[in-house]
Amino acid sequence: MRAEIKQYLQHIKSVCPELTDAELTRFSQGLTISELSKKALYITCGDIQQQGGYLVKGLIRAFYSDDAGNEKNIYFIPENEYTFHYASFMDKSPCPLSFQCLEPCIVVNFSLDHLHRAYSDMPKFERYGRRILEHKLKVQQQRLESFLFQNAEQRYLDFIRQYPQLFNRISLSQLCSYLGVERQTLTRIRKKIALGQ
């Protein structure tokens, strides 16, 4: 068994320790691995996502292009997180986002059929899926509410607190797009914070 799959299974076990090693081994038999270069697309806007993925190594951004052709980052996916568009994967609908590697990436993939078999054959695995979806829903709700209730400075400070491991791995232009601010605005915010105002 490849080290990347072992790493993924360890993650599953950490979230759902009641799963047995035999169940994890059975689940591992339907997994594949993708090795992607920097700037490669894991998912292309308009495509139907055929596989869900767990990012073992690297960093991915999810983005869309507006009518003027400007790319807008929706979120970043660091290692040890899932990389999929839920509706595209579950409903087999076109994905409205593209998922691009910002670094060389290794992704462990699984099909929807494989996931459903795991849910039906191993009820404890369904519990794991529920826990992951609860976490993903919480993160998405926080992201939405940050635009509703926070100003740009608060969003920036929250990003630093929530994702300190990402701060030096993404460019300022990528961060500006994610925060929904112009580069000059972010420069002002950073200067203000540095001066302790």
If asked whether residues 12 and 99 sit together in one domain, one would say yes
Position 133 scores a pLDDT of 87
Domain containing 43 equals 3-137
User: 135 near 11, Cβ under 8 Å?
Assistant: no
Give me the number of domains the chain comprises.
2
Question: For residue 46, what are the CA distances in angstroms to 16, 67, 99, 143, 197?
Answer: 34, 15, 11, 23, 45
136 has pLDDT over 90: no
Q: How confident is the model at residue 91 (pLDDT cuts 50, 70, 90)?
A: very high
Sign of torsion over alpha carbons 47, 92, 43, 95: positive
Residue 77 counted as domain residue: yes
CA-based nearest residue to 166, from 74, 63, 62, 59: 59
Task: Assign 146 a pLDDT band (cuts: 50, 70, 90).
Answer: confident
Beta carbons of 77 and 59 less than 8 angstroms apart: yes
Report the percent of the chain where pLDDT is more than 70: 99
149-189 pLDDT, tens digit each: 989 999 999 999 989 999 889 999 999 999 999 999 999 99
Instruction: Tell me the pairing of strands 41-43 and 71-78.
Output: unpaired
Determine the straight-line distance between the first and last CA of the chain, rounded to whole angstroms: 53
pTM confidence score: 0.90
- Across the chain, mean pLDDT equals 92
46 is written with which tokens?
A: 């308009």
Residue 145: inside a domain: no
In a domain, 15, yes or no: yes
Per-residue model confidence as pLDDT tens digits over 58-90 = 999 999 999 999 999 999 999 999 998 999 999
- Please check the confidence at residue 197 and state whether its pLDDT lies above 70: no
Q: How much is the average pLDDT of 91-106?
A: 97
Distance CA 147, CA 126 (A): 32
Structure tokens at 104: 């060389």
Q: Is residue 120 part of a domain?
A: yes
